[in-house]
Chains A and B, each alone.
Chain A
Amino acid sequence: MTEIDTGVALAVSRASYGYGSHAILRDVSIEVREGEVLALVGPNGAGKSTLLSLLAGDADPDHGTVFLQGRAFPEWSAKERARRRAVLLQQNQMVFPFTGQQVIEMGRAPWIGTPESDADEEAIARAIAFTDAGHLLHRTFPTLSGGEKARISLARVLTQEAPIVLLDEPTAALDLRHQEDVLRVARELAGSGAAVVVVLHDLSLAGAYADVVVVLDKGRVAASGAPSDVLTPELIGAVYGLEVRVIPDEDTGRPIVVPRRGAPVDKYALRP
């Protein structure tokens, strides 16, 4: 597979990955296009984070290939990768008491010594404004709350100004408003031409903001497509083993996924 589709930012082609005999991903193929938000959803242990680390180039698949802008990952140097894709992990650690400002500035590291570094200040200011992190700049990172850390880290990722942005559960530690903010930022990035991959647990968030939803189940792609096509009670029931109601949003018509809490639980309906 060597053809180069200019609109495809990241492509995973028939990738498998496992630890020893335990397969985590089996024969997964997905494409992430420029200008699109792709939501990666699925039950715990479905392989979402592993797929994200393949997309980030952290790990190489046992079989298959991951293409970054049409070239296989091993062909890119570490610096070249850093200028093309930014990654927000679930855990954002920081050993030493750097300030929020310093952490955000670290996002500019891949551009040191290039003409783009003239734009450092604007990139940093824009990311801070985007993530509503202005009041956290002078606090030291380890003293911030989980949600505040997540916002500073997101600002760091935005500061990197990469055309591909990978976010692993960026909403996990955030309150309702900041969850929406993060996904609105993801939408705006896509609007300006970036390819965005978001791992999400909240199917309604995925339904509301994604162009493409990829459902992973036990290491395979169970479904992939537009939110309203993919997020159906049947598919969610089959993948999650939970009865849900899918309601169209009154304003946007996008799917909202709600568990059927009144329904009698049939434990035999749960998959083994």
Chain B
Amino acid sequence: MIAAVRIADTRGRGRRVRRGTVVIGVTIVLLVAGIALSASLGQLPISVANVGGSLLRAVGIDNPWAPTDELIERTLWQIRFPRVVMSLLVGATLAIAGAVMQAVFGNPLAEPGVVGVSSGAALGAASAITFGLSFLGGWTIAAFAFVGGLIATLLVYATARAQGRTETVTLLLTGVAINAFAGAGLALITFLGDTQSREQIVFWQLGSINGARWDEVAVVGIVGACATIAIMVFARQYDLLALGDRTASHLGIKVERLRIASIVLVALLTGAGVAFVGIISFVGLVVPHLIRMLLGPAHRMLFVASLLGGAALLVWADLLARTLVEASDLPIGMLTSLVGGPFFYWLIRRNRRQSGGWA
């Protein structure tokens, strides 16, 4: 009996690992293809060979494909690459932030955009711009976005968590309230600001990766990497959290500490992204959901796959945003919401059918 159980066990685990390898492999292919295409397409078409060659030369490998034209080289390194890297960083951070929020709230609908963390962060960032604050140098806007996002997350947490569980209706209603309040705050700040800051704020509400700079990429990259490492360390604890607070604590988890740390991490991840590219909703909802459907809910795999999936999704979304309408740059936040809104609707429908909704 015991031997038979052990055989079944290893077989199940083997299948899970194989599936994970396939999904992650496909995502990496999509990601690399997206990066190559995104770097090569645009007003100035650059061949994929040139893109690869330029990258190789940058790491010190001389090769025959590297572009000889100075204009191509400058376009790649000053415009295309920062933008591509920014899109993949923001996609990865948002997807992971979504997965962490869902783990912490024990609710698959929690997501920085839906619940109001993104708009809280945007409000913080917009205040920094309009009031011309720069006491933290290049980090000022990000810091304000972080604080705004943190306040919003704490508000949601305090309201929607009661007796160790999250009421979905309260969670979503809190999100509605915070989004409404932050929207009004943004409107007020837009009203107060001068023309230049107004323009900047309008782009927040739409979300765009246009004009990403290397110093901004560095901020998002550093914050994202640190937060992601911390989250990977917690991965197994999030698995146990799915058993409920009490049972998780019986298994040795310090539940309240884990939750508070996670909320700070979510605010960091969301704030860093929002500070420079604005509100991009639904990435944190769609990506972890699809991954969970394909690979199951174990968090270590979920985080790795969501990181790659989120990066791939935003690289492609940004590519579409730049190329869908000729000579114009669509707001990427609008694009993700166009896809994410119906997806959200489908999730609600599907769950209603399966278990009578989330009362």
A contact set with B: CB distance below 8 Å: 53, 56, 58, 78-79, 81-83, 85-87, 89, 91-99, 101-103, 106-107, 109-110, 112, 121-122, 124-126, 128-129, 134, 137-138, 160
Contacts and interface: CB of A to CB of B under 8 A. Distances in A.
B87 to A, nearest CB: 28
Nearest to A53: B246
The 9 closest A-B pairs by CB, nearest first: A82-B252, A96-B297, A95-B106, A125-B2, A79-B252, A87-B250, A110-B252, A93-B244, A109-B251
A125 B10 CA distance: 12
Contacts of A82: 250-252
A40 to B, nearest CB: 17
B2 A137 contact: no
B241 to A, nearest CB: 8
Contacts of B297: 96-98
Contacts of A103: 243
B58 to A, nearest CB: 41
Interface centre among A53, A89, A109 (most CB of B within 10 A): A109
A102 B253 CA distance: 17
A124 B165 CA distance: 29
Contacts of A99: 12, 296
B108 interface: yes
Given A82-B250, A94-B242, A129 B2 contact: yes
Nearest to B9: A101
A97 B5 contact: no
Given A85-B250, A129-B2, A124 B243 contact: no
Contacts of B251: 82, 106-107, 109-110, 160
A144 B27 CA distance: 32
A129 B3 CA distance: 10
Contact of B246 (A58, A97, A106, A126): A58
Interface in B100-130: 106-108
A129 to B, nearest CB: 5
Nearest to A93: B244
B247 interface: yes
Given A92-B244, A128-B5, 13 more contacts: A58-B249, A78-B249, A78-B254, A87-B246, A91-B244, A92-B243, A95-B107, A97-B292, A99-B296, A106-B243, A107-B251, A109-B253, A124-B9
B4 interface: yes
A78 B242 CA distance: 18
A173 B291 CA distance: 33
Interface in B261-297: 292, 296-297
Contacts of B2: 122, 125-126, 129
Interface string B219-249: 0000000000000000010011011101101
- Residue from B1, B239, B240, B243 with most neighbouring chain A CB atoms (10 Å): B243
B247 A98 contact: no
B292 A125 contact: no
Interface in B1-43: 1-2, 4-6, 8-9, 12
A55 B165 CA distance: 22
Nearest to B252: A82
Nearest to A80: B252
B252 A109 contact: yes
B279 to A, nearest CB: 27
A50 B298 CA distance: 32
A124 B239 CA distance: 17
12 contacts: A78-B254, A82-B252, A83-B252, A87-B247, A94-B243, A95-B107, A97-B297, A98-B239, A98-B296, A101-B9, A107-B251, A137-B8
A233 to B, nearest CB: 37
A165 to B, nearest CB: 11
A1 B90 CA distance: 58
B296 A137 contact: no
Contact of A106 (B12, B165, B239): B239
Most buried by B among A93, A103, A121, A122: A93
A134 B8 contact: yes
Contact of B243 (A78, A93, A110, A129): A93
A110 B254 CA distance: 12
A63 B4 CA distance: 51
